[in-house]
A and B are shown apart, each in its own frame.
Chain A
Amino acid sequence: MSKKGRVVGSGERAENKRKREATQVVSAARGAGGGNRGMIAGIAIIVVLAVVVGVGLWLQNRNKPGALPVAIPAVAAGVQYPVAAQGDTIVTGSPQAPVTIDVYEDFMCPICGQFEKLYHQRLAQAAADGKAKVVYHPVAILDELSAPTGYSTLAAGATYCATQAGIFPRFHDSLYAAQPTEGGHGWTTAQLQQLGRSLGAGPAFAGCVQAGANQRVATATANASHYISGLRPDHRFGTPSVVVNGAIIDISDEGWLDQALNATRR
């Protein structure tokens, strides 16, 4: 690698050029010689990449869920509490209860599923005992996470129908107990209708679910988003959101429900 300050004369330069040309002639004469490896490498790389992409696409598509084959299992009846439709919400428990707990949920949201698992019995008990008015706000913000899209809206709309039909508690709890996975198939209209029938809904229920409530759910979602983002310091809206007596609650603090219920005893 020594770079001596050597002056290359024009004669030497011409000599070098002749040598280069000679090399090229030799390699051209060899025919298959120059560029052969490039061709081999090019083809091999294209084949390998095609295999990598092919296997990748296959892996991504292998578990594309088919329609869920079974009926939605209906959960057993729990404690009884008053249920009333009010606007875009479902009000449970006594309107005169000392604490109002607003719950904003999307039926597709896994954390809402966990929230329900952790708290739905105690919320139902509080509503039944008259300790709390628990207001459910079904919203749809995860519509694109089901295939086909739209399960959040479909399920939220069906909840209104279930409330009308007098089966809200078990319908709502059943959908969370058998929550579809994110990115997978949601329950279909027919399966929601079937669940309603098995819970004793009247004949109007199926038609109500069929008709859907897209506009109502969209409006409820927009209102909820506006309200919740106004309460939060970061101005964001997500599910589940819980509001106790008008104040947003951090539900990662597991004592929130005890605090909410005890605050009134003081």
Chain B
Amino acid sequence: MARLSRPAADALGTVVRLGLAAVFLTSGALKVVDPAQTRIAVRAYELLPAGLVGPVATALPLVELILGTLLLVGVFTRWVALGSGVLLLVLMAAVAQAWARGLSIDCGCFGGGGAVAKGDTRYPQELARDAGTWLLALWLVVRPRTALSVDGWLRAEPGAQWRTAGNPVK
């Protein structure tokens, strides 16, 4: 397999990072503006006890917005991408269990969510989309170096100690 030159890989990584940021910022924003709907969406998975539905529905969009913001500016990219990947795995597991148990719900991944009619579920598409997003996160875990990032700005500081943080200088 042909290896990309470093500038090309950095540029591709930047696109990946900004794409992942856009996904989280969009999904977080759509949830945060409609907290009642988000509660319904979380509740529909029938995973959490009643007392935890509210806190999770409040926290999930905020976590998505935080991850999206950190990815947008490109700081701690590897660790943020790792966190994103873990979150996506948890969400995919939740969708998969809903599918396996025969629930009829919309995943509410980008707002909306809750019960839908039997024939209106879209589990395969939802899981495929999440898996695609997960691959973006995986790229950044494996190769967190991107252009236009705070990480890069820190790395470029004269005499900086940052260069060892996940970005070994070659």
Q: Report which A residues bind B (CB closer than 8 A).
A: 1, 23-24, 26-27, 30, 33-38, 41, 45, 48-49, 52-53, 56-57, 59-61, 63, 111, 144-145, 181-184, 234, 238, 250, 252
Contact = CB atoms under 8 A, between A and B. Distances in A.
A38 B154 contact: yes
Contacts of A60: 32, 35, 58, 61
26 contacts: A26-B159, A30-B158, A33-B158, A34-B158, A34-B159, A35-B160, A35-B161, A37-B153, A37-B154, A37-B157, A38-B157, A41-B153, A45-B70, A45-B75, A45-B150, A53-B66, A56-B62, A57-B62, A60-B32, A60-B58, A63-B35, A144-B53, A145-B40, A182-B40, A183-B36, A183-B37
A45 B151 CA distance: 12
A31 B43 CA distance: 55
A234 B102 contact: yes
For the residues of B in contact with A, the DSSP-based class is: helix
Q: How large is the interface on B (under 10, 10 to 19, 20 to 34, 35 or more residues)?
A: 35 or more
Given A53-B66, A234-B102, A252-B117, A45 B153 contact: no
Q: Name, among A26, A36, A38, A111, the residue most crowded by chain B CB atoms within 10 Å (CB to CB).
A: A38
Contacts of B32: 56, 59-60
Contacts of A252: 117-118
Interface of B: 28, 32-33, 35-37, 39-40, 43, 50, 53-54, 58, 61-62, 65-66, 69-70, 73, 75, 102, 115, 117-118, 150, 153-154, 157-162, 170
